[in-house]
Structure 1
């Protein structure tokens, strides 16, 4: 199956992080957030932070951003500031919204859990949190050596947790139903794991994605999208216990981030400011 370039646009900044919630939201090295409609026609843009954005998420009409100039800032999709969630211990590097909770991980290994803009729980997984994935009651966190599986129940305890498993792997990582997809330690492969604690989250498959480092991963409709330093966007289908190649395209520049709209379409952010919509033929 081939991939092709659809519409594209360019911004006068370096795009760093991306989120999708019926609109495309892009965080840049200048601290600004740009929004786009699905056809990449520009929407609102605003100065969210004084310096580069480290994390961005969007859900239910809200945009969550973080840098090293404060806690998590919450915006409407038009750029109006709603609130700010203080997280003073260290810089926030990852934000994940799941259900009614907002999870944030910092470089000191702290995980903050917010509900209705209030801090309701805090845990520490002992290493920098570059990515978070949630499948209650399990939380998956990663830096660049290991993935830690932690059982948490924020509705019951603000600080108590149990480490259920540790496996080799690094950020980024994503969940699809009963499967977990993790970047391998070397940064070139992706691994498919069973999501069952009874099997110790058994590794089911591993495929090589690139000779260079993977920078981004997105997962929709049992399809994994990957991109990295080599400029290649690739698509992989989860078929039972296997990852099957399902198309690739060389975009000609380092992919800073990508996000899938569905299994067939994704947006890629390229170094230099180009934003590309990718179609599946």
Structure 2
């Protein structure tokens, strides 16, 4: 099977600036970019609609129930209707600061800001606040564990009630990071290597593999997919190459690659095995195994 580009967003439809965030949610792709817009797309990258969501950069999107949430360096978290991208209100405003990341899981929304504060939102109420003291480019939530990283260390935090928390483990590394099945994957501090650990607190997140010089330039995005035989990892970044890796038997093996012809800022996966990539100058592509 070949790993290749299936389609690109039409140049007349795409964002006018770099794409920073992509999510595939309930059968549609949603994108946010430096032009302050959110766009929704069919699976084949035919644009459905767009909205000027923020006055500045859209940094992250998350979907929960029938809503889409967006955050920006304008300090706002906004809520949108999935069906038509109509604004449903501002959930939270961080004065004099940026909201970097959003994660939605089990009806709860998590947000992180440039001061390293992670907030737990339930509806319009902030249920908990975890002050992790450094800006967080990547935030992953699984159960009561919080995975955070920017430039120096990936930190795994066990969240407790009433805002209490305890560091479970930390590793040298930097964003991006992702979960791929039973594995925790992230970049080295140099930005070109891929590091893989078991995602298992019982064995202290044991190291599995490290791929030296996985890319020739800094990696900007990692996406993991669980398979029947193990896990698949996708990586991309400044070298414009999207790579597919298979993780099994203590090794991470390259099984496919494609030249995206753009600096890739973000990857996300669809529900049929497809991968979407967003990057420089508003470009979005779909990559399939054919």
Q: How would you bin the TM-score normalised by the shorter chain?
A: over 0.9
Deviations 1:68-126 (A, max 9, x none): 22321111122111232224263111111111211111110100011123210000112
Of the three residues 18, 29, 37, the one matched with 2:34 is: 29
Residue number in structure 2 paired with 1:172? 176
Residue number in structure 2 paired with 1:124? 131
Greater relative contact order (Cα < 8 A, sep 6+): 2
Q: Is the Cα contact below 8 Å between 1:168 and 1:185 reproduced in 2? A: yes
**Structure 1 stretch displaced more, 127-136 or 2-11:** 2-11
Of the three residues 248, 255, 258, the one matched with 1:249 is: 258
Distance in 1 between the 2:15 and 2:75 partners? 25
Residue number in structure 1 paired with 2:269? 260
Residue number in structure 2 paired with 1:151? 158
Residue number in structure 2 paired with 1:234? 243
Query: Is 2:5 aligned against 1:5?
Result: yes
Deviations 1:128-186 (A, max 9, x none): 11111112221110011101111103xx32x2111111111111111134311111111
Q: Is the Cα contact below 8 Å between 2:64 and 2:107 reproduced in 1? A: no
Residue number in structure 2 paired with 1:72? 77
Query: Is 2:191 aligned against 1:194?
Result: no
RMSD of aligned residue pairs (Cα, Å): 1.7
Distance in 2 between the 1:211 and 1:17 partners? 23
Distance in 1 between the 2:71 and 2:249 partners? 36
Residue number in structure 2 paired with 1:58? 63
Residue number in structure 1 paired with 2:233? 224
Of the three residues 75, 84, 92, the one matched with 2:90 is: 84
Number of positions where the alignment pairs a residue of Structure 1 with one of Structure 2? 278
SS of 1:272's equivalent in the other structure is helix
SS of 2:115's equivalent in the other structure is coil
Q: Could you say if the C-alpha distance between residues 204 and 12 of structure 1 is closer, same or farther in structure 2, counting changes exceeding 3 Å?
A: closer
Instruction: Could you tell me which runs of 5 or more consecutive residues in structure 2 were left unpaired when the two chains were aligned.
Output: none
Could you tell me the TM-score, scaled by structure 2's length?
Answer: 0.90
Q: Could you say if the C-alpha distance between residues 150 and 12 of structure 1 is closer, same or farther in structure 2, counting changes exceeding 3 Å?
A: closer
Distance in 1 between the 2:111 and 2:74 partners? 15
Query: Is 2:122 aligned against 1:115?
Result: yes
Q: Is the Cα contact below 8 Å between 1:189 and 1:206 reproduced in 2? A: yes
Residue number in structure 1 paired with 2:102? 95
SS of 1:149's equivalent in the other structure is strand
Q: Is the Cα contact below 8 Å between 2:72 and 2:99 reproduced in 1? A: yes
Could you tell me the TM-score, scaled by structure 1's length?
Answer: 0.93
Q: Is the Cα contact below 8 Å between 1:192 and 1:242 reproduced in 2? A: no
Shift of 1:280: 0.9
